[in-house]
Amino acid sequence: MTVTDVRKDPEQCTLTIINEFDASVEQVWQMWADPRLLERWWGPPAYPATVVQHDLHPGGKVTYFMTSPEGDQYHGYWNVVAVDAPHSLELLDGFADGEGNANPDMPNTGTSVSISAVDGRTRMVLRSTFSSPEAMAQLMQMGMEEGIQLALGQIDALLAG
């Protein structure tokens, strides 16, 4: 467990998670900057992610899809707002259609990442900002499905092991 602190601000619809890793700032940054690494942790085990486009520059886009156990694909995108490698990244994370175009019916989430060296370790502060309480409730539906699938995936893994 790498999480050292969690702050929830229901009024501002903001979730802040602070993590520390025994790794360098550059190594932690690569987890976001290298699409092959990103796809190993972004999706839950039962829904592995495949990164299609990965342009980590302001105004750039990252597109990906997650594949369900049944073979269905769920597409998502990041609109890259700001990048200061290897220290910070700001993006809007949303749902997309098969071509990677934003789905206007689903709210997007603002995500900011900041990575810094602290006492020989690397701290990563992750902040998710939801556009409104309604958006948060709508996203929860997707999130809960992800959580359920994740739990199912873990049960599968246990049974297989």
List interacting residues with another protein (CB under 8 A): 1-3, 6, 8, 10, 13, 15, 17, 19, 21-23, 27-28, 30-31, 34, 36-37, 39-45, 48-50, 126, 128, 132-134, 136-137, 139-141, 143-144, 146-147, 150, 153, 157
Residue whose CB is less far from another protein, 37 or 81:
37
23 or 81: whose CB is closer to another protein? 23
- Report, in Å, the least distance between residue 81 CB and another protein: 19
**Contacts with 19 (C-beta within 8 Å, 6 or more apart), sequence order:** 2, 3, 4, 123, 124, 125, 126
Q: Which is nearer to another protein, 42 or 77 (CB)?
A: 42
Using alpha carbons, list the distances in angstroms from residue 125 to 4, 118, 160. Answer: 10, 12, 35
Query: 44: part of which helix (H) or strand (E)?
Result: none
Q: How far is the CB of 130 from another protein (least distance, A)?
A: 8
SS3 112: strand
Closer to another protein by CB, 37 or 106: give it.
Answer: 37
Distance CA 119, CA 65 (A): 37
Q: Does residue 89 contact residue 32 with C-beta atoms inside 8 Å? A: yes
In the complex with another protein, the residue whose CB is nearer, 117 or 137, is 137
Min CB(155)–another protein separation in Å: 12
Nearest Cα residue to 7 out of 151, 114, 135, 17? 17
Nearest distance in Å: CB 149, another protein = 11
Query: CB of 137: closest distance to another protein in angstroms?
Result: 4
